[in-house]
Chain A
Amino acid sequence: MFTNYDEIIERISLNQLWDFPGGVNPPQQKTLSNQSSIEYLQVEKTYYVPVKQHIGIEGKLLVSEGDKVLKGQAITTSEAPFSVPVHAPTSGTVTKITDHVSAHPSGIPELSVIIDADDQDTWFELDPVPDYAKTSKSELIERICDAGISGMGGAGFPTHIKTNNSKPLEFLIINGIECEPYISSDDRLMREHAWQIRQGIDILVHILQPKQVIVAVEDNKPEALETMSIACQQKTNYQVVSVPTKYPAGGEKQLIQVLTSREVPSNGLPIDVGCIMYNVATCYAIADAIVEGKPLIERVVTLTGEGFKSPKNVWARLGTPIQSLLTYGDYDKSQQSSPRFIMGGPMMGFTVTSMLTPIVKISNCILVPADDELPHPEDERACIRCSACSDVCPASLLPQQLFWYSKAKELEKAEEYNLFDCIECGACAYVCPSEIPLVHYYRQAKADIRNQKEEKEKSDKAKIRFEDRKARLLKEKEQREEKHRLAAEARKASLSKDGGGAKDKIAAALARAKAKKEALAMQAPNASKITNSPESEKTKAVSLSEVSTQVAASQKTQGASPAKDGPEDDTAAAKKRLVAAVLAKAKAKKMAANKANKETKDL
């Protein structure tokens, strides 16, 4: 299916590598910043630590406002598999937990923990692994996760997920390419900390058991190549390879293609072709986490561009606002007519919206170009279909078609043309003679497609819920009706149990009622509480409806008798009362009969 292992090993040992399609060769500009060693910064006054700094979901907060934290203390948990914790960059107090401008092109504020340093810089209790070779793989992976390590090359994929691999692995590739112009953070890291990177690789080898380790360094970094070769020389299955300089050779899929000629399938992962790739900075962080027990709280950031008087590389704690980095690099205001700060490199970076934008796990560079250094984006012109973009596309796509469909919002078509295989490297936009910001269109189209898909999922869910609810309501209604029907049947059954007794019962009840009315009529002048009378006691045994009839009747009787037991009881009044009582009796009788009729009808 693809080139076999032995052939690849042979080609690599002869340094006859393959190539990926397309690519561009922009001016490198690396010497601006890679001449001096990485500097350590003083502790900042305030750090803005975003809770989410990687691809996936953020962990749950472990601290609350006012809490004291120590350097390296976890401030979020990692409960879900795709979440990675973040740690306090220094010791101090959590002053606020609020939304703060994010290190994202949109600058949309995201939940961040704001920590005021106490200048003590006291470490949290560290828990190093004495001998990783004697530690189980699962524990090492858990420690990598707990140290908050996510891919530091740019994508920010949680490292522990990548490391938790069960498929057969041939090549463990260590990416020291750093192909984007201006950036030199990995270059300096390899030159100065090759040994620790090697330790990180050893740990990964212990966990992953690859057949071969390839450390790939671009040939424009001869010093790094040399230090890495020295660091890896004792190991026979570690091969340090010099890769020809071409942008974007550092892309994961491109580098795999250069080294092995294997192509990662669309929607596939490198492991599908037997490879796993880590950035050198990630290896460094892994060594830190396992050997020293230190979580990921700082990274190397390149401060470069002619806008800096002294461009250099620095160890910046995660959460450092870029305004302090500008001070460290001696930002020269006079070089810029209007402020313009780029996070990341010139090809894939973005202009930051705020000076308080924090450094996160994937920020490798702050680029401050002078006015004439990088052209300001011109107004785009019409596509002339020169196809220069498809010549340079490293993923062999058709950028002009993708542009066309993305612009026209024909998203299905764009997807058909494999929009999601675009790695957003910007090579197409770099060569476009019409100055079309092609990647911008692709990113918009991708976001639209993603949102549409999510929307579709949501609407499907809503549909199911709506239909379930309808079914539930219907079921409840049926159950209610069924209950009523059963109750009616039970009534019927209880009545028909005595055979024809029902009629007799009614007749008996009527007779009783009649007798009672008569008795009432006799006592009418001094009728008091009906319920106390012995007759009413008897009626209790009869159905409720009859009781109510009786009560109604008695009330009528009472209401009909205007007398209030006065002392003078003249005959006229007595007569009147008698008439009223008789009338009431008749009425009650009629009502009772009606009721009885109705009941028999119901039956």
Chain B
Amino acid sequence: MTLTVFALAAIALLALIFGALLGFAAIRFKVEGDPLVDQIDAILPQTQCGQCGYPGCKPYAEAIANGDDINKCPPGGETTIKELSALMGVEAKPLDAAHGVEDVKKVAFIREDECIGCTKCIQACPVDAILGAAKQMHTILMDECTGCDLCVDPCPVDCIDMVPVEVDSSHWEWKFNKVPVGDIPIRQMS
């Protein structure tokens, strides 16, 4: 009888100790947020365009972590899908055309003399890349624009164009179209 009581007491004590330990660990080593979501978010292109159907890249990252398809991001295109499939351990699928197609990189451009200063595009911009005030001309901060397209629709006078980003020589990818193979060091007859 005493043995049983002793055993029960010992187990109860152990349970208390471990419970306290686990409780402490849960508070002390609490993980803020979901690290997987952050990893996914880091892969997404952060255009915040909402073409995936979610209001921004972070929400889509959360959705992917909860099992949504990985092929809903047109700005990221194939590369993003590949990286996501490697991270999530799922098969890479082609881009879902319902959410748009992969396009060249673009930035918004306001035709300034047509702008009426309604501030609607400023409210639509997810990254605060539009500068302006009510009844004042607006303009786009080109370096901050992600090319998400969200400012185009709200504009009542249609003065916003999406302009493809031109490649300059420092961003050129060594793809020749005029000269076939101009940069190859030339071998000499000897």
Q: Are A465 and B187 in contact (CB under 8 A)?
A: no
Supposing A347-B186, A466-B56 touch, asked if A437 and B174 sit within 8 A by C-beta, the answer is: no
Assuming A447-B173, A448-B173, A469-B127, is B188 touching A350 (CB within 8 A)?
Answer: no
A27, A439, A466 — which one has the most chain B CB atoms within 10 A of its CB? A466
The B140-178 residues at the A interface (CB cut-off 8 A) are: 143-144, 146, 167-169, 171-176, 178
Contacts of A342 in B (CB 8 A): 186
Is A348 engaged at the interface, CB distance under 8 Å to the other chain? yes
| A463 CB-CB contact with B under 8 Å | yes
**Residues on A with beta carbons closer than 8 Å to the beta carbon of B190:** 26-27
A88-129 vs B: 1/0 string, CB under 8 Å? 000000000000001011111010000000000000000000
Question: Is the beta-carbon distance between A347 and B175 smaller than 8 angstroms?
Answer: no
A108 touches B144 (CB 8 A): no
Residues on A with C-beta less than 8 A from B57 are: 463, 466
Contact of B187 among A351, A430, A469 (CB under 8 A): A430
Judge if A460 is at the interface, Cβ distance under 8 Å: yes
**Within 8 Å of chain A (Cβ to Cβ): is B102?**
no
Q: Which of B38-65 contact A (CB under 8 A)?
A: 41, 44-48, 56-58
Q: In the complex the two chains form, is A373's CB within 8 Å of B189's CB?
A: yes
Determine the distance from Cα of A26 to Cα of B181 in the docked complex, in whole angstroms. 21
**Chain A residues bordering chain B, tally (CB within 8 A):** 53
Complex interface: chain A residues within 8 A of B176 (CB): 105
- Contact assessment for B181 and A451 in the assembled complex, using a CB-CB cutoff below 8 Å: no
A351-B179, A462-B127 given; A440·B172 CB < 8 A: no
Contact B173 A465 (CB under 8 A): no
Tell me, in angstroms, the Cα distance from A401 to B70 when the chains sit together.
32
Number of A-B contacts (CB under 8 A): 131
CB-based contact B189/A372 at 8 Å: yes
Q: How far is the CB of A111 from chain B (nearest CB, A)?
A: 10
**Which of B46, B56, B128, B174 meets A447, CB within 8 Å?**
B174
Q: Are A106 and B41 in contact (CB under 8 A)?
A: no
Is B126's CB within 8 Å of the partner chain A? yes
Q: A537 to B72, alpha carbons, bound, how many Å?
A: 67
Report A148 CB to chain B, min CB distance, Å.
Answer: 19
Q: Are A443 and B183 in contact (CB under 8 A)?
A: yes
CB distance from A600 to the nearest CB of B (A): 39
B185 at the interface (CB under 8 A from A): yes
Chain B 128-144, CB-CB to A under 8 Å as 1, else 0, gives: 11000000000000011
> Is B98 among interface residues, defined by CB-CB distance under 8 A?
no
A:427-457 near B, CB below 8 Å: 429-430, 435, 437, 439-440, 443-444, 447-448, 450-451, 454-455
- Produce 1/0 per residue, A25-64, CB < 8 A to B: 0110100000000000000000000000000000000000
In the docked arrangement, what's the CA distance between A465 and B48, Å?
A: 10
**A residues 361-377 with Cβ under 8 Å of B?**
369, 372-375, 377
Selected contact of A429 from candidates B44, B128, B184, CB within 8 Å = B184
Complex contact A451–B183 (CB within 8 A): no
Max count, chain A CB within 10 A of own CB: residue among B128, B174, B178: B174
CB distance A469 to B128 under 8 Å? yes
Tell me how far the C-beta of B62 lies from the nearest C-beta in chain A, rounded to whole angstroms. Answer: 14
Chain A contacts for B56, CB-based, 8 A: 466, 470
User: B182 in the interface, Cβ–Cβ < 8 Å?
Assistant: yes
Answer whether residue A319 sits at the interface, using C-beta atoms and an 8 A cutoff.
no
Q: Are A108 and B168 in contact (CB under 8 A)?
A: yes
Q: Is A310 an interface residue (CB 8 A)?
A: no
What is A's interface to B at a CB cutoff of 8 Å?
A: 26-27, 29, 102, 104-108, 110, 181, 342, 346-351, 353, 369, 372-375, 377, 425-426, 429-430, 435, 437, 439-440, 443-444, 447-448, 450-451, 454-455, 458-463, 465-470
- B interface residues with partner A (beta carbon < 8 Å): 41, 44-48, 56-58, 126-129, 143-144, 146, 167-169, 171-176, 178-190
Q: Which 8 interchain pairs have the tightest Cβ spacing? A: A426-B185, A351-B182, A459-B46, A437-B184, A465-B127, A462-B46, A106-B172, A104-B169
